[in-house]
Amino acid sequence: MKIENKTSQVQPTWYWNSEGVDGVDWSAWDALIERSEVPSVFLDSRMMQSLMRCETRNIAAVVWNKNGQMLGIAQVEDAIAESLNLDDHIAVKRSWFSFISRLLHGIEGKFRFRVRVIGPVLGSGMHSSRWEKGVSDSDQRRLLSETVFTSASNTGSGIPKVAMLKDIPIHYSGQRQRLHPGWIPLEFDPEMLLHLDPEWQNMSDYMGQLNTKARTKVKRVLKVSEDLKVSLWSAEKLDNNADALIALYGKVFERSGFRLGKLHAEELIESKRTWGDDFVVLGYELEGSLVGFQCAYRGKIEMEAFFVGFFPELVKSHAIYQRMLIEFILLGIEGKSDRVNMGRTALDVKSSIGALPQRLQCDVHFRNPFFHALVSRFTRGFDPSQPILKNALKADSHGKRRHSEIHSS
């Protein structure tokens, strides 16, 4: 279906926060995702409703209709972005970049700003929108550009001055490219993915496709972490201990260099209520005390590793974080998932257990034309640092074949 270049024929509607939950035809929403043939944990109607009901978030479901037919959907959130020590995460190509970066971050080394995010604030990957197959890429971006600054939240807050579209996979080599006029391309850390062999039944099957060095490391992680007691949490236990999990999450969150949004106890509780067994929470105890947790969403084809929290000192003494990554893989195997999406932090550790990088591009658009041009010029020297990642999988492994097939040009 070709969308004519007449915006009056396509009507966008915004549904903000809890007041908007009952206004969306969620059956039609999920049916559109199904027809797109690109499943999404973060656009799933269960996720949207659980997020929109959270008082700590400021989120909208956006629907584009034409003649009563749903043509496109998007998740939009007004959030606070906070940057700390940006230079540590950027491969600087121009000397003046560091100077301007230090100027923006000030004496405290902190730069905060409001941003309208199209896509999941607390997730990574292409979960921003879905469209009917006949809607071209150029029409999708045109409609998004015309719509993104047209609605203010029902909380009374103003419309942010900048919008960020997350996360467009980069299927080519070399520097990121400008895909659409009026949008500035930025690249941050890649998302780490592990494609699961459908014949895997257990840990031994997974380890059989690791090279010798990686297999030895996984065995060591299992040995060092064996004093940790791992348990599956019920909704009741989560309700009673959500604040303790957020305290553990804070020990990891406070170490990050760039923050976009923040996890709250309410979101964990609402996710469990809405998703049931498909929202998995594992607790970690050591000598009877809670020392860590991890949570994940089980989608139609993917296991979405969400958030973790733990005492940082246990990374060396008990390999707690490495153990959590392995548990994410086991959850994916048990759930017959096609892949585990591990997010875009701790790249080296994730690569050591078989995850492979998928480059992602974020496009930004400013309301002010002058500032848009200034930022476009400024960000030409903005490239992510490129760490040398480990090669854990055997050359003929399913993970390497599948990753190459989907994520390489």
Q: Model confidence over 127-172: pLDDT tens digits? A: 999 999 999 999 999 999 999 999 999 999 999 999 999 999 988 8
Q: Where are the domains of the chain?
A: 7-191+359-381, 193-357+397-407
pLDDT number for residue 409 = 40
Q: What's the confidence (pLDDT) of residue 354? A: 96
pLDDT (average), residues 32-46: 96
pTM of the predicted model, to two decimals?
A: 0.89
Query: Are 301 and 250 within 8 A, CB to CB?
Result: no
Mapped to the 3 state alphabet, what secondary structure does 347-372 carry?
HHHHHCCCCEEECEEEEEEECCHHHH
What SS3 class is residue 306? strand
Q: Is 249 exposed, middle or buried (0-12, 13-18, 19+ CB in 10 A)?
A: buried
Q: Residue 114: is its pLDDT beyond 50?
A: yes
Domain 7-191+359-381 in CATH 3.40.630: yes
d(CA 273, CA 138): 38
What is the predicted pLDDT for the residue at 86? 54
Q: Which residue has the higher pLDDT, 21 or 378?
A: 21
Residue 95 has pLDDT above 90, yes or no: no
Least confident range from 95-104, 180-189, 253-262, 326-335: namely 95-104
Cα–chain center distance at 346 = 14
What is the CATH code for 193-357+397-407? 3.40.630.30
The percentage of residues in the chain with a pLDDT greater than 90, rounded to a whole number, is 75
Identical fold, 7-191+359-381 and 193-357+397-407: yes
**Residue 345 has what pLDDT?**
87
What is the spatial distance between Cα 260 and Cα 79, in angstroms, rounded to a whole number?
7
Q: Given this model, what pLDDT does residue 76 score?
A: 98
Q: What is the pLDDT of residues 181-199, one digit of tens each?
A: 899 999 888 999 999 999 9
pLDDT of 291 reads: 98
